[in-house]
Structures are given as structure tokens and as C-alpha cells.
Structure 1
Amino acid sequence: MKRLALAIGTVVVACSAMAQKSASDGIAEYRAMLQDGNPAELFEAKGEDLWRQKRGPKNASLEQCDLGKGPGVVKGAFVELPRYFADTNKVQDLESRLLTCMETLQGFNAADIAKTPYGKGEQNNVTALATWIAAESRGMKFNLPNSHVAEKTMYEVGKRLFFMRGGSHDFACATCHGEDGKRIRLQDLPNLTKNPGDGAGFAAWPAYRVSNGQMWSMQLRLNDCYRQQRFPYPLFGSDATIALGTYMGVNAKGAESIAPAIKR
């Protein structure tokens, strides 16, 4: 009987492992099929047009916006953000840097844009711009600078926030993304305390969400993570989300960007 019980147990474990692998493979195949017609391409086109279009109170384009590689240089900028900018004396991610450029070059009010409800007005345009800029670095490796004292500080703050538990459910980012082999609803959860690999975690956003038909930038992804943890919803472009982006981005060094990706 002991041998029979052991044999049955082995079969159950093996079947469970096969089912897990099958589910993961099935989701990967599903995404691959959708990728050919990824609606993110529509946001890319809109973002490229917005970059060159003269808009705002100053009737100017964003073509002189410095994303870290010099005024107007877009290719390769995404995989080096967040980073320190001397003109603002801040570490900024892509979205917060775009707000700075929209304010200084075009005359928009960055604070008003940050307060705009998701998916409306200029905040929707920021998402489209971020999608196009990310696409210009698709296939490149993440290599965030981490030498300036402000960058190092943001990394350490992001690390502490990543492991900080709170909210009504006592959750932290690390609850879902702090170790290998975790899953939720048949979906693998990447370990973001280290390089999760090409196209995983930080290297996959902005992404189009099939489940709700929306385009999400990394800012929006992090804000929704806080919502799910039952934390107060962060302000768009908050220092907390930029610090988390710095922590994950530095950890993702060498990972290949597939953004804009497609998600369930």
C-alpha cells in the first residue's frame, strides 16, 4: 500500500507540474498570437505625431525635449530611464520627464496634467508619447545610470518601498514579486528583486491590456499595483513610483525591452 500511495503521489505531482507548464506555455502562445496585431501600434502612431505637433500655449513641439541623451534624441532613451536630470535636479522617469518638457517647451501645466483622471485629456497623450518613445528602444538592453548620488538614493528608497508592507491586506510589492516561482490566475509573477529576464517585468511596459482595452504606461501599472495592495492611490509621477521604477530598472540591467508589449 505504501508503494501504491507513493506511486500515486508521484503521478499527481508530475501531472500538476505538466499542467503548470501547459498553462504558462498557453498564455505565452496567446500573447504571441495577439502581438502581430497589438493595438499599441495605434498609440505609437499617435505618440509620434504628438512629439512633432506644435501644441500648447507656446505652440511648440517636443522635438527639443531632452530625455537624457540630448535634445530631440529618442532612440535609446527609454532603456536608460529613470535617471537624474540636472535642469530639474531630480531623478525622473519617462512620464514625469515628458511632463517637464510639456511644461517648459509647450507651456502646459504639469501639475494639472498629473491630476487629470486616467485616460483623459493630456494624461492620455502622455501615455501615447511614452508608448512611441518606448517603441523606439525596442530590442535594446536596459542600462540605467546609477552613479549620481540622487540616483543611488532613489534606488535605495525604491528598494525600501518594494519591501514595505501596509494597507488593509498588509501587502508589499515583494508579496507578489519578491521570489521565484510565484503565480496568480495561471500567470507567472516575475521576481523583480533581480534581473527577471528579457521582456519580463520592467522590460515589458508600456503595454496594451487586452482585458480592459487600455494602454498602460509604467506609471499606471505601478499606481494600479498600489490600488490592489489597498494603499492610497499615488499621484501620477509621484516620487514613490519613480523610486520603484529606479529600483526595478537598475535590477533589470541587461534585460531586453519588448515594450510596448501586450498583456491579458
Structure 2
Amino acid sequence: MRSVTLCALALSAVLCGALQAEEKLSMSEADKAMYAELLESNPAEMDVAEGEQLFGELIGTATYAKMLGVKEKDLPKYLSGFPRYLDPAKKVVTIAQSIQMAALAAGKPVPKLESKEMVKMSAYVKSLANGQKTSIDVKANKHMEQMHKLGQQVFEERRGGRGLSCNSCHSADIVGSRLRMQPLPDLGAKETAAAGTWPAYRMTQSQMVTLDKRMQQCMKNALLAEIPLGSREMVALEVYVTNKTKGNAISIPSVKR
């Protein structure tokens, strides 16, 4: 307990000290210029277009909507509510997992969650909800309530030798401080819109990244064991983070540093 407390205090000291850094340290002029250029011509748009083609060859929106039990024209609004409980799966699933379900039901090869093809397809499918507001309902049923509760536990649980958690960098009293010269964002803020803006193109990786993969990267940077993609804990974490963004507009793909 003492080591965890000392780690937390050390982290706070580092963050508070970093807060004194100049704003210019967060992004160089060259990076700012690149960011502005990417906003005008996002490379991930090509990935989304490819995802549309892959999705059409694998399933198609009509078959997908039928599996979800909704009309094709209602897909945008319905998709804005993911992750959500799907009765055929008997559990709460992400968009990527729902694509796997549709592929399985259609007798098609089921793409792996970590595959490049799945990243592109899930980005395309979520882009169908662009302009919609994130409308996840964590009180819709007991399954969603349980997953939201579990997601909060995962978000706040201190793990690893440093005793860190997601909350260590994203709690209300830490947001706005700096870590590695980067401002720590409020995951629910309109400007961040975490759940509504991933998958996104990451400048530092020159590729499109999904929300769950981004959370894994955070865990790796904090020297924490990575929670597996598609696991109950990872889906629950996405439910919790998505609920923070509820009401903010969906815009896929976005650009992130």
C-alpha cells in the first residue's frame, strides 16, 4: 500500500512539474503543420474506403442490418449506441465483434479482431454513424449496467509495479497536466470525444488505430499487462469510456497525434 501511495505521489509531482512547460512543447511547428495538412487530407480515408470494399465483399450492409435486427436505413442511429447488448451473442459486444457475428452467421470467414482488415471494416461501419451523437445506454438492461460497472473498476484499478490506472492520467484533478510534454485529455470532452473519434489516424504511428488498440498502447506505455482485445474487461472498459463521450458527435476517421 505504501509503495502504491508513493508511486501515485511521484506521478503527481511529475505531472505538476510538467504542467509548467510551455505550450509550444506539446507539438512542434512542423507537427502542427502536418496536423493541419492531415485534417485536409486524412490518409485513413483510404483505409475506410478499403474497409467499405472489404465489408461489402464479406457481408454487406443489408445482411449486417438483418443480423442486428434493424432496418438498413436505421443503421447510423443504431451504430451510435455501440458497444451494446446483442441477444444472439447473449452479451455486450463492440462493432468489431458484431462484424464477426455477421460473418459467422453468413458462413463467411471470421476476421480476427487484431487484423488490418478488421480495423478497416470496423472503421467503415462506424463511419456510417458520422454526424450522429454517441448514444450508448448503460442503463438499457442488466448486461449494460454490469459492463459499465466493470468498466469503471478496470478504469480505476491500480495495476503493475507502478500502481497506475487509466484514472491516474485521466481523473478530473489530473486532466490538463502534461506527461511526456503532451496534455492529458478529458476523455469525455467535446474536443477529445474519445469514443466518437476512434478509429483514428495516429501521426506518430502513420496508421489508423482503434480505440481498444489505443487503450492497449496506453497500458504498454504505463508498463501494465495489456488487456486482450475482445475480452470482457476490454469491452467493459470501452463501454465506460464511451459513456463518458455520450452526446458528442461521431467523426470517423479523425486525426490524433
Identify the TM-score tier after normalising by the shorter chain. Answer: 0.7 to 0.9
Paired position in structure 2 for 1:48: 52
Partner of 2:41: 37
User: Which residue number corresponds to residue 145 of structure 1?
Assistant: 137
The separation in 2 between residues aligned to 1:21 and 1:68, in whole angstroms, is 47
Counterpart of 2:207 in structure 1 is 214
RMSD: 2.7
Q: What are structure 2's unaligned runs of at least 5 residues?
A: 1-18
Question: Bigger shift: 252-261 or 29-38?
Answer: 29-38
1:208 is paired with a residue of what secondary structure? strand
Q: Report 1 or 2 for greater relative contact order, CA contacts < 8 Å, sequence distance ≥ 6.
A: 2
Q: Which residue of 2 aligns with 1:4?
A: none
Question: Are the structure 2 counterparts of residues 45 and 20 from structure 1 closer, same or farther at C-alpha, using a change threshold of 3 Å?
Answer: same
Matches within 5 A, 1:2-151: 19-20=22-23, 23=26, 30-53=34-57, 55=58, 61=60, 63-66=62-65, 70=70, 72=72, 74-109=75-110, 113-114=112-113, 118=114, 123-146=115-138, 147-151=140-144
Q: Cα gap change, 1:69/1:173 in structure 2, threshold over 3 Å: closer, same or farther?
A: farther
Which structure 2 residues correspond to residues 178-193 of structure 1 after superposition, within 5 A?
A: 178-179=171-172, 180-192=175-187
1:68–1:77 Cα contact (<8 Å) kept: no
Give, in whole Å, the separation in 2 of the partners of 1:71 and 1:236: 29
**Distance change >3 Å, CA 252–CA 28, structure 1 → 2:** farther
Q: Which TM-score applies when normalising by structure 1?
A: 0.77
Output the CA distance in 2 between the equivalents of 1:140 and 1:18. Answer: 37
1:260 maps to 2:253: yes
1:229 aligns with 2:222: yes
* Cα deviation 1:156-175 (Å, max 9, x = unaligned): 00001100001122110011
After superposition, the C-alpha distances for 1:114-172 in whole angstroms (9 at most, x for unaligned) are 4xxx4xxxx21110011112222223211102221100110000001100001122110
Q: Deviations over 1:178-233 (max 9, x none)?
A: 123222334322223xx322443222210111222221111211222222232323
CA–CA separation in structure 2 for the residues paired with 1:223 and 1:152: 23
Q: How much does 1:94 deviate?
A: 1.2
Letter in 2 for 1:143: S
Shift of 1:17: 7.4
- Please give the TM-score of this superposition, normalised by the length of structure 2: 0.79
Alpha-carbon separation, structure 2, partners of 1:261 and 1:187? 18
CA contact (8 A) 1:40 1:131 kept: no
Task: Give 1:240's aligned residue.
Answer: 233
Larger radius of gyration: 1
In structure 1, list runs of 5 or more residues that go unmatched: 1-15
Summarize the Cα distance change of 1:245–1:131 in structure 2 as closer, same or farther, 3 Å threshold: same
- State the AA in 2 paired with 1:218: L
> Take 2:194 and 2:28, find their aligned partners in 1: how far apart are those partners?
17
Q: How many Å separate the matches in 2 of 1:225 and 1:261?
A: 18
Q: Distance in 2 between matches of 1:128 and 1:81?
A: 17
The aligned amino acid for 1:219 is D
Residue identity (%):
23
Residue 259 (structure 1) shift: 2.3
Determine if contact 1:52/1:63 at 8 Å carries over to the other structure.
Answer: no
The answer to whether the 8 Å contact 2:177/2:183 transfers is yes
Write the distance in 2 (CA, Å) between the matches of 1:96 and 1:137: 17
2:44–2:207 Cα contact (<8 Å) kept: no
Structure 2 CA distance for aligned equivalents of residues 152 and 142 of structure 1: 17
